Structure 1
């Protein structure tokens, strides 16, 4: 029976991981055509308020649901689960209404603090989606707590698909009807509300078949205790799920102000911030790749902990961390190696390529932080992880404006990487001894560094050769980027095989890992 439950958990984790990966890829890729349509300034207008949406969706689709699922799974019967769901719904409804009212009433003040008073229309527009937060978080948490991952997975993909569709339509209308940039941004932000509505439809059976029909019982959690749980442990999960969005939120309040303090005009600062935000989809895609493959291994940790298999638990965490590190570092070095061409390919010019390259380094840190956090969650360790996260945000808030004044817009990228490095260092320092590490023991990091150096060096050499014969067009960028990706993948794969970076168990952890391992054995012969 226990093996059956573990298999069910594993299947659910894979389904949810695939849905999350699809949603992240959708969320990363739509920004490229969007920026191409509306330009740097239009992209700035949208990205300046985007972190508020990101935090709201984290609350609704990943942060609170994970904690709710834990509470639901602890209940002894279906009646208690539904009673608790109703109470959580009331708590989150009050919270959602409060956030909605706050954003509505203080939108002008928030926009002023962001350095652009006209943004208040976008803030008002994004506030509506917070009213949907309890309607999404509760059924999602319920289904995850009962190991039914299909409705949450469908809701996640539906939300992103509808939102992206609305955003692209608004961008096209902006061009066709010559909309004001802020009007376009406000309408695009309504995509989050439409997306939330369709995500709710995907989980409507919860309300019509369970939530409204369940009879009243004698089970009743104390509201003060429930409120404390939701906004301590539950909020910590939300903060971690939204870590990059929180750093972007700091950027929203500090980058424009930092640029203006350095004497830059409003229009030039807007254009620069929009170009700086080109890094976001690249980082999001890198994170999705780095954490997606390892996510399916996480349920195994819970079973190993439950069975008190300490050695197996440590080995599994080590494998997960190694996979995340390899993919994240390879993606980072690869993107940096082809950056001027990649920037031109995606956004039409090579503007701020150095700044974007510096920002992309954050992929490695955020991938490791996210993986460590997932491992610590499986052990119910929250407080030290939360402290590490808050220290990172504090570093970002304290250094952003100063670094921008000292080094220009690249200072914001340096600040983000520094903040994530501090958070990761603290998490590694605080982690229990039972959790594996990529930073101690064998020569793994040395071998990985050598493989990345070989890949990066070969790809950069190719890019320099291309640059000598290139006219700087987008078509040239397509050819150069494609050739660089093929060469990079080929060199990196050969390097990690030759250096014997992975052991057999680690190869088998990859999708189609057995076939890859068998191919490697044939190549060695």
Structure 2
């Protein structure tokens, strides 16, 4: 169990570094290339995001689960080889599809100039088989360091290439599409860097490993599980990215149908895409909580400790709800200042505020999904994602035509709300803890409402005349919000002692609180 928890922390830390890198680089990138350049990059980003999720947190999780179930090293190696074969076929099909149908895909996005970008990003899928199978094998044998290292190296290379492309495009006077094509090559180069990190230990294990034919499962059985369980994990890991992919096909086209000129529609889509890095950062802590507590729930189920499982699940839900609600409320109230600080103006603030609500909803979806994954219930999450996606596809263009990017943000929230409700219905009754949530809800309202009021009173008096003023407003608002929320949460006893101990530095906070009471 200590090894599992240590591995979970290593993966959590590397995931946090990767997510922070993935979110933070977009701010200087947008500042360098402007809203239109950001639009070009973000139109294709969801395709890259799907590939990254498949190779990083989707299929490796499934492969590690199947590898961990195997009884001996030979079976583990054979299963990994089976996964490599299936992933190779899948990656070549995706690669061929993107190369052959890049032009129709770009036309569907209402911008034929995106064709070369789609073709460039297709190459990253060729790195997916080796990355996913190697990471899955090492995670399944509880060697998390190699996965974590490859993850961080991949992100560093990708971010470096993207920022270099943005800087050099200004020097060489490239078009936004030339810049975007070079920036997207970072996905393939980052994948190659990650393969180099994993190659030596992977080759050492599999140089004389058992063939795929020695696997305890037939290709048919493994393939069926690969599609149902692996596909569910991969798609649910990429939930926001899938919704963003729908936006790539509908928002710019919908804005043009509403009467916006082509350059204006591109700029508006670029402004709307500012919300994605902000939401990513807001979800970092909630995602870390889910990753950290998942092994405890799995261990409790394995030992048939149903009460421990329900209690840990309850802690996860309380912490995810509390932290994400505070992050969402704080981001919404400070959005004008943050928008001006990071992106140079306050354009699209309302759509970004609406989009920020996805932090709270996605955090709760991830929490309930962690519970269902512990119970090996993948069907419910797959159906929930399918219904939510249908809502997004069916209503997005209509709402964009009528309400612009605010409509797109609202439909994203509606889609996520549908997914959350369906996932919640599938969770066991002892985990729902409806009685406990009735007590928790008013306490959370007091802590969050008090925080919002305090931040508004402190920041309302400061005029935002430029980016320097926005720095002051944002800094004062964040510090005030954190302090007030922590104080009010302690006063109303929002979290139990056990829940506080689950938070990093929670033990130190409790000791400080005890010393303060003694004084």
Which residue of the partner structure matches residue 507 of structure 2?
Answer: 514
Which residue of the partner structure matches residue 18 of structure 1?
Answer: 13
More off after superposition, 125-134 vs 318-327: 318-327
Instruction: Report deviation, 1:218.
Output: 6.1
Which residue of the partner structure matches residue 68 of structure 1?
Answer: 63
Cα 1:438/1:177, change in 2 over 3 Å: farther
Cα 1:134/1:439, change in 2 over 3 Å: farther
- TM-score if structure 2 supplies the norm length? 0.97
Which residue of the partner structure matches residue 296 of structure 2?
Answer: 300
2:333 is the counterpart of 1:337: yes
Which residue of the partner structure matches residue 488 of structure 1?
Answer: 481
RMSD: 1.4
2:206 is the counterpart of 1:214: no
Which residue of the partner structure matches residue 392 of structure 2?
Answer: 396
2:377 is the counterpart of 1:384: no
Q: Is the 8 A contact 2:21 2:155 kept in 1?
A: yes
Which residue of the partner structure matches residue 137 of structure 1?
Answer: 132
Report Cα offsets for 1:290-343 as digits up to 9, x if no partner.
Answer: 221342121111111112111111111010111111111111111111111110
Cα 1:282/1:218, change in 2 over 3 Å: closer
Alignment of 1:135-214 (within 5 A): 135-214=130-209
Of 382, 404, 409 in structure 1, the residue corresponding to residue 405 of structure 2 is 409
Q: Is the 8 A contact 2:228 2:378 kept in 1?
A: no
Of 349, 361, 364 in structure 2, the residue corresponding to residue 365 of structure 1 is 361
CA distance in 2 between partners of 1:74 and 1:148 (Å):
15
CA distance in 1 between partners of 2:386 and 2:397 (Å):
18
Which residue of the partner structure matches residue 263 of structure 1?
Answer: 259
Instruction: Report deviation, 1:520.
Output: 2.3
CA distance in 1 between partners of 2:13 and 2:275 (Å):
23
CA distance in 2 between partners of 1:197 and 1:524 (Å):
55
Alignment of 1:52-63 (within 5 A): 52-63=47-58
Q: In the comparison of the two structures, how many residue pairs are matched?
A: 517
2:448 is the counterpart of 1:448: no
CA distance in 1 between partners of 2:33 and 2:213 (Å):
56
Which residue of the partner structure matches residue 240 of structure 2?
Answer: 244
**3-state SS of paired residue (2:132):** helix
Report Cα offsets for 1:163-215 as digits up to 9, x if no partner.
Answer: 00000000001111101110110110000000000111111124320122325
Of 486, 495, 508 in structure 2, the residue corresponding to residue 502 of structure 1 is 495
CA distance in 1 between partners of 2:417 and 2:124 (Å):
33
Instruction: Report deviation, 1:71.
Output: 1.1
Which residue of the partner structure matches residue 429 of structure 2?
Answer: 433
CA distance in 1 between partners of 2:293 and 2:5 (Å):
8
Which residue of the partner structure matches residue 468 of structure 2?
Answer: 475
Q: Is the 8 A contact 1:497 1:520 kept in 2?
A: no
Mind listing any 5+ residue stretches in structure 2 that lack a counterpart?
Answer: none
Report Cα offsets for 1:474-511 as digits up to 9, x if no partner.
Answer: 11110111011111111111111111111111111111
More off after superposition, 254-263 vs 80-89: 80-89
CA distance in 2 between partners of 1:436 and 1:520 (Å):
30
Report Cα offsets for 1:455-486 as digits up to 9, x if no partner.
Answer: 1111122222112xx4x211111011101111
Q: Is the 8 A contact 1:236 1:386 kept in 2?
A: yes
CA distance in 2 between partners of 1:261 and 1:453 (Å):
40
Which residue of the partner structure matches residue 118 of structure 1?
Answer: 113
Which residue of the partner structure matches residue 3 of structure 1?
Answer: none
More off after superposition, 245-254 vs 432-441: 432-441
Instruction: Report deviation, 1:82.
Output: 1.3
CA distance in 1 between partners of 2:428 and 2:49 (Å):
31
CA distance in 1 between partners of 2:17 and 2:328 (Å):
20
CA distance in 1 between partners of 2:426 and 2:253 (Å):
35
Alignment of 1:28-43 (within 5 A): 28-43=23-38
CA distance in 2 between partners of 1:437 and 1:229 (Å):
31
Instruction: Report deviation, 1:440.
Output: 4.8
